[in-house]
Structure 1
Amino acid sequence: MVGSRPVAEVRRMRHSTLMRTIYIDCEGAKSADEVWQRYVDAVNPANAAVFGRNLDAFWDAVEYGSPGWPGPVKLVFLHSQRLATLRTRNGLSLFAGLRQIADEATQTSIELA
């Protein structure tokens, strides 16, 4: 990732399929809303205009292909540990919520780096 510009990288996976890796840089993010905007900017997801920009909407997107679906990619949230101080609208740590989703997601590969 260069600066705050989103970076996508293509990696060859098993069985000769291509898996694109998208990096979402969380460095310096001051709010959960800013992180979701960085996600949308980096991923350019399906139906971005109606993506809810919260943990529930993110879960629905990565598991069920709902608005905000990133497609068949691997998502890497860079500097994610800095999100521990950011709170969602219901008071949950954004990092904790993303960690839970990363651990439980079966349809999209998510890494917190």
Structure 2
Amino acid sequence: MQHGRRKLSHGEIPSEQKALDREKAAKALKLMHTVLEARKTCKELTPEVNEMTMKALQINPEVATIWNFRRDLLSRLPPSTRTGALKKELELLNMATKLITKSYCVWHQRTWV
């Protein structure tokens, strides 16, 4: 015991942490499912869809389907609003690059922007 806490073995994770990880994974899976369902029906980039896809990509930027969905929606924007949306897309890409530096999906989206 050190500082009043039991020392954990090298690979041991506390059960509370496991429960939090499972809960976070379940929320992420539900969000990904919602995004994929929205892809079937949504034909334009609404603020709700934008926020939903951004949250999903902040959780896991390795999902190429969501990047493709965003690319499709961004390409449909009128030229007057496209510039501002692409600047925000670059901010999202910078955040995703910091999260996972060697992500093919992120770099592919960045070259498109």
Structure number with higher strand proportion: 1
Bigger helix fraction: 2
TM exceeding 0.5: no
Larger Rg: 2
TM value normalised by structure 1: 0.34
